[in-house]
Structures are given as structure tokens and as C-alpha cells.
């Protein structure tokens, strides 16, 4: 099932919440999840989870891009690779959280303001 914005959130807010949840999942699963998501052979049925993650995030990114709140030159794969890179940093949530927030701020279209 695809992720959707709810509760009157702006598209970028819905995307950001979802990406934070994805990062929390990655942090909790750490190395196993990171290695699974790095696997590039999408035809391997063992790694079908990546497709589900992409399918869930794609409409959130598309909505934020359509609202001109997120850069249009990024794909969901690129955004998830960014989150994956941050989530694999060693450290506690208090250390990694501000790094993730800064990275996600960089997704915003110029002139749309901060999170």
C-alpha cells in the first residue's frame, strides 16, 4: 500500500515524516537493511522489499514535487539513497537526527523555506 499524506499535512511535510520513519527503520535494522537496500539486482525476488519501499515513497515525492516544494531533479531512488547514507552513520539518534534534518532540508526547492 502506498504511503499517503494525511491530516492536512503539506506534501513536503508528509514526505519528510515518511523519510524520518524510513530512517528510523533503517537504524533499527542497521546493517541488514542497509545491505538489502544496496542490492542492485532488482530481479531477485528476495529483495522485493526495495520495490515496496520505492512504491510507497514515490507518490509522496511526486506530490511534493508537483507542489514545487521539493527539487524536481531527484528520483525516489536518489532520495532513499541519501537517507540510507545518513542512517548508516554510527551514533545515537541525538547525533544522527540533526544530520538527517539537514540532508532533508536540502531536498527543498529553492525559495521554499526551512522545515
User: pTM value?
Assistant: 0.77
- Give the cell for residue 23: 530512517
- What pLDDT digit, counting tens, does each position of 75-107 carry? 999 999 999 999 888 888 899 999 999 999 999
Q: How far apart are CA 43 and CA 69, in angstroms?
A: 33
| Residues whose CB is less than 8 angstroms from the CB of residue 72 and which lie 6 or more positions away in sequence, other chains included | 65, 109
Q: Please give the average per-residue pLDDT across 59-72, as a whole number.
A: 96
All structural domains of the chain with their residue ranges = 11-105
Amino acid at each position: 500500500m502506498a504511503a499517503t499524506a494525511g491530516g492536512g499535512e503539506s506534501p513536503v511535510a508528509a514526505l519528510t515524516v515518511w523519510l524520518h520513519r524510513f530512517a528510523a527503520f533503517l537504524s533499527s535494522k542497521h546493517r541488514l537493511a542497509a545491505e538489502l537496500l544496496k542490492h542492485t539486482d532488482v530481479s531477485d525476488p528476495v529483495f522485493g522489499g526495495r520495490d515496496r519501499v520505492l512504491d510507497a515513497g514515490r507518490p509522496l515525492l511526486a506530490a511534493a514535487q508537483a507542489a514545487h516544494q521539493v527539487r524536481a531533479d531527484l528520483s525516489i531512488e536518489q532520495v532513499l539513497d541519501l537517507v540510507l547514507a545518513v542512517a548508516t552513520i554510527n551514533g545515537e539518534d541525538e547525533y544522527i537526527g540533526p544530520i538527517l534534518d539537514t540532508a532533508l532540508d536540502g531536498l527543498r526547492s529553492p525559495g521554499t523555506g526551512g522545515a
